[in-house]
A = this chain, B = another copy of it.
Amino acid sequence: MVKMKFNPYNKEIEVSQGDNLLEAVRKAGIFMDTPCNGSGACGKCKVKVISGNVISTNSRHITDEQKKSGYVLACQSIIEGNAVIEIPETESSSMHGMKIEDFSSRREKDIFQRSKEQILKSGMKFDTYVKKEYLELDPPTLDDNISDFERLKRHIKKQLNYNNVFCRLPILRKIPKLLREANFKITITHIPRGKGKTTIINIEKGDKTKELYGVAVDIGTTSVAACLVDLYNGELIAKASSGNAQIKYGADVINRIMYSTKGNGLEELNHAVIQETINPLLNKMYMDSNINKDQVVSFIVAGNTTMSHLFLGIYSNFIRMEPFIPAFVKAPFIKASELNIEVNPETFIYLAPSVASYVGGDISSGVLSSGMWNSEENILFIDLGTNGEIVFGNSEYLMTCACSAGPAFEGGEISCGMRASAGAIEKVRIDGNHEPTISVIGQEQPLGICGSGIIDLICEMMFTGIIDRRGKIIKDLNTNRIRFDEHGIGEYILSFKEQYDLDRDISITEVDIDNFIRAKAAIYSGITTLLNNLAMDFTAIDKIYIAGGIGNSLDIGNAVKIGMLPDIEQSKIHYIGNSSLMGCYLTLMSEDARHKLEEIANSMTYVELSVESQYMDEFVSACFLPHTDIDKFPTVKECLNKSV
């Protein structure tokens, strides 16, 4: 056994000689964001060997200078003896950090407001499926000596007209003592199930009818967002988001699934999303709002199909293997205690239903909140998270498909990429001298660049002649912001490390640009193929809704200019934020919305792009800025002509 010490965490563990260094870091309980899951491709597990013996393979991510200072990729290193390792505080750690969001953002408020109105306009009622009632029971006597539970049932039948009242063992266990401590004046929390049936899920002393809370959670592959809602009046109490702690096991769903099939991988992924991500978010919101978790009795969660499987701890390997079969699309009844989620243990966990292996409950939920199911216009809904899902339709029909866009829109597989949280460069402009102006979320020191920033950056680089339409950096430009490594791979530096006292420059490489072009091409070709499938073209689109974690600052014009979105009138394109979370909020607040959500999931027609021969051709043609066929982008063509 050899001893490993990790700074600045001051953690020491024993490992065996010959063990992998990244495994040791994980064993020590230290979070590292490793999108490529240890293949050496992403270069994000850079650590510094302070002392001791570690043998590493060379990597293009480690410069000669860094190598001399002791930097290695943890995943490419073998432990040979006792060592002290320093883990740099990178954007990854802060990426995982939690963030309690500010509701003052006008855009955020607008989005909530519009979604609520959609629901109300469609005639749905705001009416939660969990109810509270205050009851004053008659105390028992020798002449009226029925059991406590029968007494409770008798009263509920008389006062609330439910003939069949159920509860589970933990509630029954509370009844005898609590009834007497409360002097037989109690509040029950219950879930009516129609036809005179109801199930009691909580019992409290005195009148607590106004203390009724719910939580909505969107589990993204990269980011997880949650909000705590006062079910009594529908108000949002707190909202929080963080990175999905599963990131350390892989950046995208395929890598996660692969990890889940190894050893305890499935348990580790389930633990990462619940214990390391959702529960900390919940506890932060409870602390900030001074709410007791036992009063949180409704829980709605949405995620893509793989996230849904991992959330429930369900083997998901058949999702990635032809014929791509999920274990379920609609989850069974689950109690919070079964998943160790920190709400009232009897709370029913409602998971938004999926459509297929690559169109999940987050899309059903997003479509619900978009209101497109109630629209006469043809709406194109695009969720730009990790991967990209597309839905097209109106109140008559809904067609959907998934594009393997990868995690680039949320900063994944981009060397300086990060999700749209504090410190992310969200807007970029470049002037004629190739000098950039940046705008950073939270107006903090820049740590990396998020999806909206990358779109801006690539677009500006194209229009200022830094890159060509293949995304290759032009040589011999007169600027110190461009450099080429020994392999000839070009890089544009957005922020010099000296300027912001960073470990390294914030830059974009040709490899990054290539990754991003493939992501945007996947979206564009998905849209084209889906419409073709319906024998339609872009003229059929009345509106485009963009949802997802790409960032509030998305410049829609630039997204069109790089060829991610079709070149239609820009006033028709709207960013609608985290529509999945919004759909969960609506489902919390309205039983009608929940029924609609199920109807939406059931009614969507799924198109499997991987078996559409046209899709590959479309994709290859779209791997250009904006497209190999510039005539498909007339306004962009015009601009390019102007700028030349």
Contacts and interface: CB of A to CB of B under 8 A. Distances in A.
Nearest to A356: B145
Given A149-B327, A332-B168, A608-B142, A173 B312 contact: yes
A145 B332 contact: no
Contacts of A175: 327-328
A323 B169 contact: no
Contacts of A145: 323-325, 356-357, 608
Interface in A163-218: 166-169, 171-173, 175-177, 180
A608 B141 CA distance: 12
Contacts of A322: 142
Interface stretch (A45-53, A98-106, A313-321, A508-516): A313-321
Contact of A176 (B142, B169, B315): B315
Contacts of A331: 172
A329 interface: yes
A138 to B, nearest CB: 12
B356 A176 contact: no
Contacts of A542: none
Contacts of A313: 169, 173
A148 interface: yes
A169 B338 contact: yes
Interface residues of A, number: 47
Contacts of A339: 169
A18 interface: no
A327 B169 CA distance: 12
B328 A172 contact: yes
Interface in A530-580: none
B318 A176 contact: yes
Interface in A247-287: none
A334 interface: yes
A332 B334 CA distance: 17
A626 interface: no
A147 interface: yes
Contact of A166 (B142, B173, B176, B332): B332
A611 interface: yes
Interface in A124-176: 140-142, 145-150, 166-169, 171-173, 175-176
A326 interface: yes
Contacts of A166: 332-333
A328 B148 contact: yes
Interface in A329-358: 329-334, 338-339, 354, 356-357
B150 A332 contact: no
Nearest to A144: B323
A327 B167 CA distance: 13
A327 B177 CA distance: 9
Nearest to A141: B323
A177 B356 CA distance: 18
Contacts of A317: 176
Contact of A169 (B312, B316, B324): B312
Contact of A142 (B171, B323, B329, B332): B323
Nearest to A200: B332
Contacts of A608: 142, 145
Contacts of A168: 332-334
Given A167-B332, A180-B318, A332-B166, A323 B173 contact: no
Given A166-B332, A169-B312, A140 B325 contact: yes
Contacts of A173: 312-315
B315 A147 contact: no
Contacts of A141: 323
Given A176-B317, A176-B327, 6 more contacts: A147-B326, A147-B327, A147-B328, A149-B329, A172-B327, A172-B332
16 contacts: A142-B611, A145-B357, A146-B329, A147-B329, A148-B328, A150-B328, A150-B329, A166-B332, A168-B333, A171-B332, A172-B314, A172-B331, A172-B332, A176-B315, A176-B316, A176-B325
The 9 A-B pairs of least Cβ separation, nearest first, read A149-B328, A176-B327, A142-B323, A147-B326, A147-B329, A176-B315, A140-B325, A148-B327, A145-B323
